[in-house]
Amino acid sequence: MASVYKKPWPNDKSKADWGGRAKIGERWVSISLRMPWTRGSKKTAKARVNQLQAEIDAGSFSDSTREWLGPKAVAKIVSLMDAAQGQDGTAKPLTWEQGKAAHLAAKADRDTKRAVPDKLHSPDRVKQKRRYCVTWFVNWATANQVPFGKAKPFTKTLIDYLEYRRQQPGRKTPRMEPRTIITDYRYLIQFGDFLHAKGICEKPDRDRIKGHLPDDPGKVVNLPEWHVEVDLLETLYQRRRETKGWWATWGLYVVVRGLGCRPSEAASLSWATVDVERGHVFFLDTKEKAMHQKGDRKVPVLYEWVREALVELREDFLHRSREKPDIPQAVCLTSWGQQFRDETTIAMRVDKTLKQLGKEKSCLLKQAQKCAISQMLYDGFPATAVALWTGHTEKTLRRHYIKDDAYLPSEHDREYGRFAKLSDYGLKCLTYASRTLANPLQ
């Protein structure tokens, strides 16, 4: 673990700079952090030395680190890294921690995000999930003193870890859920391939490892009864102005439930891509790698309550921006007027509001997207169009949603109340879809 220390000036003991100790191979090295010592600056110094240690473990330095280190210090550290690893080329990890750092650094370019208008960020689940899976595996290997390298086959190590994970309790089940084990396998097999490319271990035997995986039960879609969901929407609508937190939650449900997008897409939605007058919203595909790109989506505002809510949210944003010009251009803002940083903060905001309203778990935000799909299909919009609007393929839509009983006609007609009325643009979309389906060749 890297550390920091106070280094007084030789000619003036009342002044000092911050220094740091980083580990290169098996050797601890003292490095000047190029920061003057002041009260309250220790936290910043620790963050700088920890970032430096992570980049040393990964074998490469970022531009910002090279800038504050200086060319001479960078050259000295690189020479020490080469000496520690016995080679002049790319760094070869020597421990599980170094292997993890190098793997995550190598995968970083696959997790890069395209810029969102108005400098908004896009929450990334893939990068976070990869880091969690690899970190848990490395911590387990370190705690059990599993040798790093060819002393023990990686295939056997991964099998032992997956068997260990299967015996661990899940969040709501006595044993870990099968989909969690399968997700661990998908990320850790990439970790094994990376170590094999570095010449550290053998190529993982996929067929042998898959023999120890549980059967994939498939994605289960659990939806609340339609009247429970409508009751929650009505409560949020009636009480949306009572607190800033409830207003923030209402904005999230307007975007996710009203437009059928994912919570992470709602967090990165900018007013620059919302056109209320024309009746549509653009959701940008922020994946940069071609293999992950799905393309931008133009989603129509189908329902009148969504159109009115977006107008109301925009008026509130314009009012806030006059008081605070540097406010983020995000459609969904926190109670403090900031952009939601990740899906965890979104979930915490929603859970808190539902608990305050006495509606705990009545319709979570992740379920709201599926409820939006349910209503679109119930109102007669074709599955192909709904799949495009919500960012799915039609195959995925049929496999995971339409087969659910919630999308079949019920014994009694659903009464969505104020949330049932289609907007003028929504009526045009439905009329055009009906005419196209009736005359597919025209």
User: Which pLDDT value is given to residue 4?
Assistant: 85
**Can you give the pTM of this predicted structure?**
0.65
Kindly list the structural domains of the chain, giving each domain's residue range(s) and its CATH number in brackets, ordered by start: 3-89 (no CATH), 117-210 (no CATH), 226-438 (1.10.443.10)
User: Which pLDDT value is given to residue 290?
Assistant: 45
What confidence category does residue 412 fall into, taking pLDDT thresholds of 50, 70 and 90? Answer: low
pLDDT above 50: residue 69: yes
- Tell me the percentage of the chain whose pLDDT exceeds 70: 84
Mean pLDDT of the chain: 83
User: Which pLDDT value is given to residue 110?
Assistant: 62
Average pLDDT over residues 238-243: 94
Q: What is the dihedral of CA 50, 51, 56, 59, to 10 degrees?
A: 150
What confidence category does residue 400 fall into, taking pLDDT thresholds of 50, 70 and 90? Answer: low
User: Which pLDDT value is given to residue 1?
Assistant: 67
User: Which pLDDT value is given to residue 88?
Assistant: 38
Average pLDDT over residues 399-410: 52
What would the 3-class secondary structure string for the chain be?
CCEEEEEECCCCCCCEEEEEEEEECCEEEEEEEEEECCCCCHHHHHHHHHHHHHHHHHCCCCHHHHHHHCHHHHHHHHHHHHHHHCCCCCCCCCCHHHHHHHHHHHHHHHHCECCEHHHECCCCHHHHHHHHHHHHHHHHHHHCCCCCCCCCCHHHHHHHHHHHHHHCCCCCCCCCCHHHHHHHHHHHHHHHHHHHHCCCCCCCCHHHHHCCCCCCCCCCCCCCCHHHHHHHHHHHHHHCCCCHHHHHHHHHHHHHHHHCCCHHHHHCCEHHHEECCCCEEEECCCECCHHHCCCCEEEECCEHHHHHHHHHHHHHHHHHHHHCCCCCCECCECCCCCECCCHHHHHHHHHHHHHHCCCCCCCCHHHHHHHHHHHHHHCCCCHHHHHHHHCCCHHHHHHHHHCCHHHCCCCCCCCCHHHCCECHHHHHHHHHHHHHHHCCCC
pLDDT in tens, 201-212: 888 999 999 999
